[in-house]
């Protein structure tokens, strides 16, 4: 029998729709999830199912609903494509047993995925995903799948179609500083990147009296021929509009709206590491307090800010599930990762690109300065950092071998600087005597090895990356 192709990476199962992510395999995954829910008594309060704007996402969501309904689990199925933070908020708001999202996040359009969100309204940890995978593998070996028709389930009140927008928007407007933004007279551009945020950010901005130019706010399952990932490359139209019309800022979300992207008043793309640091400094400046959590691949600029304010920084493996765990259990002020996801105290314990973008607007309104100036002020206070991420192709079945090879050649120095700390909570991270660092880790979502580097100067960053590439090349032999 062929090995089960359904695996959970950093954030659920993702694969291409012309290979493994088929309606049959989605049904197997759904049956495994249903078995887990029933076995652990998470089958009384209901499960919410949402989906993104990809080809067939609605079809896959309906298939998941049929299977869970066939296993006696009541379902709330969204009537329209919905952001993942909104689905997560619904779990919290309605006290549900969990949620399922059909999405491949920022991946190219040929991908799709399935993510299970537990009752605690935060990304599932391995103590939940591992048992689910065990159930999925059992179904794979003996594919007995129970289904109910949606029309019949709806008549029996086991299935309810829902639109979650209003409750989510009410919640966001309650916890954001609405009056501050309303009085700031902001003029911005928003790029929906054909994703789920297109029906959420515009009404929020209207309520907040923000003047906005809107791009790509219509359905296109090909995402304009690219990936729905808010990067400097994908947001070039935003840059041009800012410079042409003298706008205050540009904002964007990825396909399922858990990541954000920001360009300043000069049209410069601001890396998520810097946005995280800016928002942390802002929260502390306006009188908030609390410790912070970041992933192993996130900037140590966070550590500099925390040190200035006598705060603790917790470091986790890459993945919002680990950040969410710390946010839930330790009531921290802010958590984040370098890929553009942040979690805020008082909101949901899940990345939310919609909310994070609004916090950037709130910050600009508070300082009454252009974002470029706010960024310069941060660097003047804490020092500038240079950061990059380089990807190396590596098949999933070869990743473990490469990482074992790196163990054999762990360096004592990197780019001529002594390694003062090595951590292995997610790959291998080498912190150097001058504060620079290098991280090598396998991607949890794609067939890649990731090489991260951070340094105080561009030249030092270049040297670190060259050393990292040499280390990887040796391990790949």
Number of H helices, E strands in the chain: 16, 21
**How far is the C-alpha of 381 from the C-alpha of 444, rounded, in Å?**
35
Does the pLDDT at position 346 exceed 80? yes
Q: Is the pLDDT of residue 387 over 90?
A: yes
- The CATH code that applies to domain 167-382 is 3.40.120.10
Under the banding of pLDDT at 50, 70 and 90, the label for residue 286 is very high
Chain centroid to CA 66: how far?
A: 28
**Mean pLDDT of the 373-400 span:** 92
Q: Is the pLDDT confidence value at 253 over 90?
A: yes
Longest CA span, the chain? 70
Report the C-alpha gap between 99 and 76 in whole angstroms: 9
Percent of the chain with pLDDT strictly greater than 90: 88
Q: Which residue, among 47, 92, 163, has the nearest Cα to 343 in the 3D structure?
A: 92
pLDDT at residue number 448: 86
Q: State pLDDT tens for residues 211-228.
A: 999 999 999 999 999 999
254, two tokens:
């990825």
| End-to-end Cα separation, the chain, in angstroms | 32
Please determine, for residue 470, whether its predicted confidence score (pLDDT) is greater than 70.
Answer: yes
Q: What is the mean pLDDT of the chain?
A: 95
Superfamily, domain 386-476: Alpha-D-phosphohexomutase, C-terminal domain (3.30.310.50)
The pLDDT value recorded for residue 399 is 87
Q: Which pLDDT value is given to residue 425?
A: 93
In angstroms, the Cα distances linking 466 to 98, 334, 416, 473 are 45, 33, 12, 10
Query: CA 112, 12, 30: angle at the middle one, nearest 5?
Result: 80
* pLDDT, tens digit, 9 for 90 and up, residues 46-105: 999 999 999 999 999 999 999 999 999 999 999 999 999 999 999 999 999 999 999 999
- The structure tokens 């359905």 sit at 219
Q: Do domains 13-163 and 167-382 have the same CATH topology?
A: yes
Lowest mean pLDDT of 114-118, 391-395, 454-458, name the range. 391-395
184: left (phi over 0), alpha (psi -120 to 50) or beta: alpha
Q: Which of 64-73, 83-92, 357-366, 461-470 has the lowest mean pLDDT?
A: 461-470
What are 175-204's pLDDT values in tens digits? 999 999 999 999 999 999 999 999 999 999
Is the model's pLDDT at 158 over the cut of 80?
A: yes
The string of pLDDT tens digits covering residues 288-322 is 999 999 999 999 999 999 999 999 999 999 999 99
Helix (H, G, I), strand (E, B) or coil at 353: helix
Assigned CATH topology for domain 13-163: Alpha-D-Glucose-1,6-Bisphosphate; Chain A, domain 3 (3.40.120)
Report the C-alpha gap between 477 and 471 in whole angstroms: 10
Structure confidence at residue 476 (pLDDT): 76
pLDDT at 462: 95
Q: What is the mean pLDDT of residues 341-366?
A: 97
Q: Which residue is listed with tokens 């090489």?
A: 451
pLDDT at res. 371: 98
Residue 310 CB burial class (10 angstroms; 0-12, 13-18, ≥19): exposed
CA angle 368, 339, 374 (to 5 degrees): 15
| SS3 (DSSP) at 316 | strand
Q: Where are the domains positioned within the chain?
A: 13-163, 167-382, 386-476
Residue 28 CB neighbours (<10 A): 21
pLDDT beyond 70 at 1: no
| DSSP H or E segment with residue 66 | helix 57-70
Residues 6+ apart with CB under 8 A from 20: 5, 6
- Asked if 188 contacts 158 with a C-beta cutoff of 8 angstroms, the reply is no
Query: C-alpha angle with apex 224: 222 to 225, nearest 5 degrees?
Result: 65
Average pLDDT on 236-244 reads 98
Sheet of 448-455, strands arranged across: 386-393, 448-455, 437-442, 428-432, 417-423, 413-414
Q: Is the pLDDT of residue 477 over 80?
A: no
Exposure class string for 454-463: b at 16+ Cβ within 10 A, else e: bbeeeebbeb
Identify the sign of the CA torsion 124, 126, 127, 133. positive
> Does the pLDDT of residue 106 top 70, yes or no?
yes
pLDDT score at 368: 97
Average pLDDT over residues 277-290: 97
CA distance 103 to 106: 9
Closest CA to 210 of 106, 323, 362: 362
């Amino acid at each position: 029998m062929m090995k089960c192709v359904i695996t959970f990476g950093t954030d659920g199962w993702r694969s291409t729709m012309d290979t493994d992510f088929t309606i049959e395999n989605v049904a197997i995954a759904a049956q495994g999830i249903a078995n887990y829910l029933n076995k652990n008594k998470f089958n009384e309060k209901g499960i919410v199912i949402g989906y993104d704007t990809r080809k067939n996402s609605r079809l896959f969501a309906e298939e998941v609903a049929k299977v869970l309904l066939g296993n006696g689990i009541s379902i709330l199925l969204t009537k329209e494509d919905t952001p993942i933070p909104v689905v997560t908020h619904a779990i919290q708001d309605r006290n549900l047993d969990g949620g399922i999202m059909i999405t491949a996040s920022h991946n190219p359009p040929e991908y799709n995925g399935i993510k299970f969100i537990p009752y605690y309204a935060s990304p599932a940890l391995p103590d939940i995903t591992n048992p689910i995978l065990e159930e999925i593998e059992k179904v794979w070996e003996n594919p007995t799948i129970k289904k109910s028709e949606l029309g019949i389930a709806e008549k029996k009140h086991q299935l309810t179609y829902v639109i979650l927008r209003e409750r989510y928007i009410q919640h966001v407007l309650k916890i954001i500083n609405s009056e501050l933004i309303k009085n700031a007279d902001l003029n911005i551009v928003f790029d929906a990147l054909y994703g789920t945020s297109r029906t959420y950010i515009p009404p929020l901005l209207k309520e907040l009296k923000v003047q906005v130019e809107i791009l790509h706010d219509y359905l296109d399952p090909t995402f304009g021929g690219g990936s729905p990932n808010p990067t400097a490359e994908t947001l070039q139209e935003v840059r041009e509009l800012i410079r042409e019309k003298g706008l205050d800022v540009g904002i964007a979300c990825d396909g399922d709206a858990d990541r954000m992207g920001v360009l300043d008043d000069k049209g410069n793309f601001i890396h998520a590491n810097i946005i995280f640091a800016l928002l942390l400094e802002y929260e502390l400046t306006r009188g908030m307090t609390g410790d912070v959590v970041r992933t192993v691949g996130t900037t140590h600029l966070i550590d500099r800010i925390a040190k200035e304010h006598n705060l603790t920084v917790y470091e986790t493996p890459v993945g919002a599930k680990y950040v969410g765990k710390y946010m839930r259990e330790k009531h921290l002020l802010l958590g984040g990762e370098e890929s553009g996801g942040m979690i805020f105290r008082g909101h949901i314990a899940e990345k939310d690109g919609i909310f994070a973008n609004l916090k950037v607007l709130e910050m600009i309104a508070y300082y009454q300065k252009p974002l470029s100036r706010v960024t310069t002020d941060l660097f003047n206070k804490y020092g500038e950092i240079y950061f990059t991420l380089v990807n190396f192709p590596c098949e999933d079945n070869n990743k473990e071998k490469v990482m074992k090879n790196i163990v054999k050649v762990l360096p004592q120095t990197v780019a001529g600087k002594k390694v003062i700390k090595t951590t292995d909570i997610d790959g291998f991270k080498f912190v150097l005597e001058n504060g620079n660092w290098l991280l090598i880790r396998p991607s949890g979502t794609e067939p890649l090895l990731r090489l991260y580097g951070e340094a105080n100067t561009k030249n030092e960053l270049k040297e670190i990356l060259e050393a990292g590439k040499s280390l990887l090349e040796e391990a790949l032999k």
